Amino acid sequence: MVSRSLGRVQELHDAPLAPLTTFRLGGPATRLVTATTDAEVIAAVRAADADGTPLLIVGGGSNLVIGDKGFEGTALRIATRGCELAGTRLELAAGETWTDAVARTVEAGLAGVECLAGIPGSAGATPIQNVGAYGQEVATTITEVIAYDRREGETVTLTAGECAFSYRHSRFKADPERFVVLRVRFELEDADGLSAPLKYAETARALGVEPGDRVPLAEARETVLKLRAGKGMVLDPQDHDTWSAGSFFTNPILTDADFAVFHARVRERLGDGAEPPAYPAGEGHTKTSAAWLIDKAGFTKGYGGGPARISTKHTLALTNRGSATTEDLLALAREVVAGVREAFGVTLVNEPVMVGVGL
Ligand X SMILES: Cc1cc2nc3c(=O)[nH]c(=O)nc-3n(C[C@H](O)[C@H](O)[C@H](O)COP(=O)(O)OP(=O)(O)OC[C@H]3O[C@@H](n4cnc5c(N)ncnc54)[C@H](O)[C@@H]3O)c2cc1C
Q: For binding to ligand X (CB under 6 A), which residues are involved?
A: 22, 57-64, 78, 94, 119-122, 124-126, 128-129, 131-133, 176, 180-181, 233, 235, 242, 244-246, 353
Question: Which of 117, 343 has the CB closer to ligand X?
Answer: 117
Question: Which of 22, 344 has the CB closer to ligand X?
Answer: 22
What is the rounded distance in angstroms from the CA atom of residue 203 to the CA atom of residue 213? 11
Return the bridge partners of 100, or none: none
Burial code (b: 16+ CB inside 10 Å, e: under 16) for 33-49 equals: bbbbbbebbbbbbeebe
Per this entry, what is the length of the chain? 359
Q: Which of 14, 11, 82, 83 is nearest to 48 (CA)?
A: 11
Question: Which of 10, 22 has the CB closer to ligand X?
Answer: 22
Question: Which of 181, 217 has the CB closer to ligand X?
Answer: 181
**Do the Cβ atoms of 4 and 11 come closer than 8 Å?**
yes
Q: Shortest approach of ligand X to residue 55 CB, angstroms?
A: 9
189 is catalytic: no
Q: Shortest approach of ligand X to residue 297 CB, angstroms?
A: 22
351 is catalytic: yes
Looking at residue 332, the DSSP 8-state letter turns out to be: H
Question: Which of 135, 246 has the CB closer to ligand X?
Answer: 246
Q: Catalytic pick from 40, 96, 144, 351?
A: 351
Q: Catalytic pick from 31, 77, 150, 168?
A: 168
For 208-214, which contacts have Cβ atoms below 8 Å and span 24 or more sequence positions? Answer: 214/111
Q: Shortest approach of ligand X to residue 112 CB, angstroms?
A: 16
Q: Catalytic pick from 170, 195, 247, 311?
A: 247
**Do the Cβ atoms of 143 and 185 come closer than 8 Å?**
yes
268 is catalytic: no
Q: Shortest approach of ligand X to residue 348 CB, angstroms?
A: 16
Question: Which of 125, 310 has the CB closer to ligand X?
Answer: 125
Cα angle 99-104-108, degrees, rounded to a multiple of 5:
150
Q: Shortest approach of ligand X to residue 133 CB, angstroms?
A: 3
Q: Shortest approach of ligand X to residue 268 CB, angstroms?
A: 33
Structure-derived torsion over alpha carbons of residues 45, 46, 47, 50, reported in degrees to the nearest 10: 130
**Do the Cβ atoms of 287 and 278 come closer than 8 Å?**
yes
For 309-314, which contacts have Cβ atoms below 8 Å and span 24 or more sequence positions? Answer: 310/336, 311/231, 311/232, 311/241, 311/244, 312/232, 312/241, 313/230, 313/231, 313/232, 313/241, 314/231, 314/232, 314/233, 314/241
Which residues are catalytic, by number? 168, 247, 351
